[in-house]
Amino acid sequence: MPRDGAAGPPTFRAVLAVREFRAIWSAELLSQAGDQLARVAVAVLVFARTGSASLTALTYALTLVPALVGGLALAGLGDRHPRRAVMISTDVGRAVLVGFAAIPGVPLALLFVLVAATTLLNGPFKAAQQAVLPDVLDGDAYPVGMALRSMSVQAAQLVGFATGGIVVSVIGASYGLALDAATFLASAALIRAGLGVRAAPTASTHRSFLRSSTIGAQVIWRDHALRPLLGITCLAAFYVVPEALAAPYARQIGSGPSAVGLLMAADPMGSVAGGIIWGRWVSARWQLEHLGLLGALAGVPLVCCVVAPPLAASLMLLAIGGVVATGYHIHASSEFIRRLPATVRAQGAGLAATILTTVQGLGLSAAGVLADALGPGEAIAVFGAAGSCAAGLLGLSWRRVSGLGPASSHPRTGPRPNCDVRSKA
């Protein structure tokens, strides 16, 4: 980003004036909103054809779990090939896969494979995107751009989930998936038109994928502060369960398909509100010192779902959970990145994102099985209680080590780094 000598940090308007960033940002918003629409469509489609909460949750988990392979084995494509080409190719590939999934009557087994393959391509796309952004925005503009991107992704999730149920109820699940495929093609077109061509970095090929992941894991495991911070960010594995069980939970509370998207949108809606509340009205020091408390409180609204309250009350509970969860997530994820040594920061952040995505998927699969046995509301409550207990233990561990080093003593008050560890995309 060119410098004009003006005093003060760059503004959101200034980073949006950068053509390349604007192209990446717009493309991500399109595909993010489309992804949430697709999640609603797949949930409705599978539950309508099977009536099984476990299969519905399994399908949702398939939008998360394969990122383990994509994030570890394929992320290096962005270092070995031009990142613009990797982003365009993976967008086109995802459009083709989702397009096949949109064919009416596609067998469920094939649908599961197509959903998993689409998720697999998310890993190299995100890696190439994250790698190219520092080239597009330099200096102080980079964290400002990341802050804008983080808020925008949450808003896109909210819009996609909130409208997804309505769109699917009007045009059908297959057409909803076709619309998602179109967003990937539009994303590829925006990147091709707006992002400049850059040569692939060749120096990064000296270290193998396995070796890079091993080094990052060793650093995280040996640091007594990084371990609880990573554990706290992984609390999302408990608190994302209402999204996976939205379809059966909507039926349990006597609501129709249009309520599924609203239930999925409640947590992102709370997250957007929480970003404003925690960022403006509560000190960063207090939040950092009470990560465990905030993590534990985030599970309380989910426990209340055991009584399967009406739609309005359920939406309020899930939104409150999202508000509280934002308080621990912002600081746990940013402090995790700050404490990573600069030499392994990208590896550590990527490994953390992969771990979170994987445990989310495994947790969602378990939640589906539990929902078939107990009921969706009861399963949500069990996972909320488990998350609160885990947060309490992790919080105690964090309090014991949080005084180590200067990072926790002087937390940043400016834009927080975004390592995407809570994104469900």
Distances (CA, A) of 159 to 13, 316, 322, 374: 22, 17, 15, 31
Cβ–Cβ under 8 Å, residues 263 and 47: no
The mean per-residue pLDDT over the stretch 103-130 comes to 83
Question: What angle, rounded to 10 degrees, do the helices at 108-136 and 83-101 form?
Answer: 160
Lowest model confidence (mean pLDDT) among 13-17, 256-260, 338-342: 338-342
Give the chain's mean pLDDT: 78
Q: In terms of pLDDT, which residue wins out, 278 or 423?
A: 278
Q: Which domains does the chain have, with CATH numbers?
A: 10-198 (1.20.1250.20), 209-418 (1.20.1250.20)
pLDDT digits (tens, 9 = 90+) for 319-335: 999 899 887 887 787 67
Tokens of 181: 């495929």
CA distance 219 to 215: 6
Q: In terms of pLDDT, which residue wins out, 76 or 173?
A: 173
Q: How confident is the model at residue 422 (pLDDT cuts 50, 70, 90)?
A: very low
Distances (CA, A) of 389 to 80, 302, 383: 43, 13, 10
pLDDT digits (tens, 9 = 90+) for 82-107: 879 988 999 999 999 989 988 988 88
Ordered DSSP codes for 75-98 = TTHHHHS-HHHHHHHHHHHHHHHH
Q: Dihedral of the CA atoms 255, 258, 263, 269 (nearest 10)? A: -140
SS3 216: helix
pLDDT digits (tens, 9 = 90+) for 203-243: 444 556 566 556 667 777 888 888 999 999 899 889 989 98
pLDDT digits (tens, 9 = 90+) for 362-403: 888 888 889 988 999 999 999 999 999 999 999 999 988 876
CA distance 87 to 234: 27
For the chain, percent of residues with pLDDT exceeding 90: 23
- Report pLDDT for 295: 93
Cβ–Cβ under 8 Å, residues 390 and 237: no
- Report pLDDT for 127: 72
CA distance 3 to 21: 15
Lowest model confidence (mean pLDDT) among 18-22, 182-186, 271-275, 344-348: 344-348
